[in-house]
Amino acid sequence: MAPGEQVMPELTHRQILTVLVGLMLGMLVAALSQTIVATALPTIVGELGGQDQLAWVVSATLLTSTASTPIWGKLSDLYGRKIMFQSAIGIFLVSSLAAGFAQNMGQLVGSRAVMGLGVGGLMALSQAIIGDVVSPRERGRYQGYIGSVFGLATVAGPLLGGVLVEHGSWRWTFWVGIPIGIVALVVTERVLKLPFPRRRHAIDWLGAFFIVAGISALLLMLSLGGKEFAWNSAWTYGLTAVALTMLALTVWQERRADEPIMPPRLFANHTFVITSLAGFVVGVAMFGAIIFLPQYLQIVKGESPTASGLLTLPLMVGLLATSIGSGRLITRTGRYKIYPVVGLLVAAVGLALMSRLSVDTSLWLAGVFMFITGAGIGMVMQVLVLATQNAVPHADLGVATSGATFFRSLGGAMGVAVFGALLTHRLRDTIPAQLTAAGVSADQMPAGSATQGSPEQIAALPEPIHLAVTTGFAEALQTTFLAAVPFAILGFVILLFLRETPLRETRGHTSGEDLAAAFETSVDPDAHLTDEEDSPRPENPPPPGRPPHRG
């Protein structure tokens, strides 16, 4: 236990669940904002125009959410997590309202960029706050609840988006998250009363600028390369040069700043380095490959957006089963390293099996492959965050958690870009080869309908063109899934070097009396414990009748 750290009695299960409800609602609206818009994009372009700006609707949010993540974490360490989390919700709500009222593509892209700022804060701070209220040893039992948010968003996002576009308006894909966000704001205001000592701070604005500029240039190159400009172009080389220069300046600035955004001491922490590297390659493998599942179901199997969302349920079921199961075992035994190590092997097997998906693969067999992949993911993601939070002092909890989230998001962005480019490259070979094999000449093929058409346009193609195109898509997707396998194996190798340290049974430097009293303020109007209160509290022993866990 660190010097000055106080042992904190357990909050009740009900109290922790009350906090989790608010945090999970915030995470849900953030995750949904990234998955719900995909099915609405064709309709949006049809109404607002701006086909050439379509990529920016998704890229703008990805860019700002990823680039801002480390800054949110640091600000929460300096000024308190509650006020930062609520600020992120406020930004998200205002930008969602603006996006729904957008009258042209420029306004929509601008609103989505601001929305990304809120998304970055919600994703990073929700997990940091969980680290405040639940000790690492007990956190495993709540892992399944956290993992369910991402699984639900993966399935419900495209499903809900399809329903809203079909029966309402694309504008509701942005407005639907507002009521959920308001509820999250109300819940956190009532129950989230984390004590936080006030002290003077100096924000490293120059370091923040270098980080945002460097990551933005890198993500612009990855997101727009091969779409808005060729990979072998001045734009690619220029943005890469800007990214490298800004990141080098970041290292220089962070080593000299009094309050660095990303403290260099974190990179001297063995666990933080290993989990960040593993999170990065896992992000590449998982997000980069899983995002193409809807294309398989809609283009190759001919399912509707709504049906394709339901058909990915096995992925969520597998994720939830292993996330909940491994979490409870971690709480019971105190051992955690084995789960992400085994999980990455299981995920590698699942991805390898998914590389066998073809036109003739039955949906139930595809569901089995998805279940295996989801089971592997469920043992990895939250355990990496748990290991990171367990290895750093409470003063660095926010920036360490946001750092882990940042590297995973960056890996996902790179995965989407790399595998997207690979898919496009393979389609140029597989579809013409299938058309030739089917005896279809080039002049019989509608222009652009093979690789650029919507699922509906591809489904309307006459035979044998339709079979040739869907077979070509299946072959290209097989290569994409197979290319993700080495990244999962690399993550497995990296995690072999992770040193398993005993899970702490405390939540940092704050006494449990502070946290317990904080909940009383939600029902006692005379209690005024807030994030800013800095009065000392006596240390409290663990409650009687409950022996401490042994790791």
Segment 391-416, tens digit of pLDDT: 888 778 888 888 888 888 888 888 87
Q: Is the pLDDT of residue 472 over 80?
A: yes
Q: At 543, is the pLDDT very low, low, confident or very high (cuts 50, 70, 90)?
A: very low
Per residue in 101-131, pLDDT (tens digit) is 988 888 888 999 899 999 989 988 888 888 8
* CB distance 22 to 184 below 8 Å: yes
Q: 421-443 as b/e, with b when 16 or more CB fall inside 10 Å?
A: ebbeebbeebbbebbeebebeee
C-alpha Rg value of the chain to the nearest Å: 24
Instruction: Please tell me the predicted confidence (pLDDT) of residue 88.
Output: 93
Q: In CATH terms, are 11-194 and 272-502 the same topology?
A: yes
The average pLDDT across 322-339 equals 88
Q: What percent of the chain has pLDDT over 90?
A: 20
Which three-class secondary structure state does DSSP give residue 15?
A: helix
* CB distance 281 to 411 below 8 Å: yes
Distance (Å, rounded) from C-alpha 336 to C-alpha 327? 9
Domain regions of the chain by residue span? 11-194, 204-258, 272-502
Q: Mean pLDDT score of the chain, rounded to an integer?
A: 79
Report domain 272-502's class: mainly alpha
- Rounded to two decimals, the pTM is 0.78
CA angle 197, 382, 368 (to 5 degrees): 160
Instruction: Please tell me the predicted confidence (pLDDT) of residue 550.
Output: 38
Interhelix angle 81-100/177-191, rounded to 10 degrees, is 160
* CB distance 427 to 402 below 8 Å: no
**What's the CA dihedral at 380, 374, 401, 67 to 10 degrees?**
130
Distance (Å, rounded) from C-alpha 509 to C-alpha 5? 4
Does the domain at residues 11-194 carry the CATH identifier 1.20.1250.20?
yes
Instruction: Please tell me the predicted confidence (pLDDT) of residue 522.
Output: 37
What percent of the residues of the chain are helix, what percent strand, and what percent coil, each to the nearest 5? 75, 0, 25
Taking the alpha carbons at both ends of the chain, their separation in whole angstroms is: 14
* CB distance 84 to 120 below 8 Å: no
Residue whose tokens read 């205002």: 94
The average pLDDT across 238-242 equals 93
Instruction: Please tell me the predicted confidence (pLDDT) of residue 97.
Output: 93
Per residue in 260-318, pLDDT (tens digit) is 888 888 888 999 999 999 999 988 887 766 778 878 888 888 887 778 778 888 988 89
Instruction: Please tell me the predicted confidence (pLDDT) of residue 11.
Output: 61
Nearest to 147 by CA among 502, 385, 389, 366: 385
* CB distance 356 to 298 below 8 Å: no
Residue whose tokens read 């933080």: 272
Which three-class secondary structure state does DSSP give residue 270?
A: helix
DSSP string, 213-271: HHHHHHHHHHHHBTTTB-SSSHHHHHHHHHHHHHHHHHHHHHHH-SS-SS-GGGGG-HH
Distance (Å, rounded) from C-alpha 290 to C-alpha 530? 42
The average pLDDT across 91-98 equals 94
Q: Is the pLDDT of residue 496 over 80?
A: yes
Per residue in 127-179, pLDDT (tens digit) is 888 888 887 877 777 766 777 787 778 777 877 887 887 777 888 889 988 99
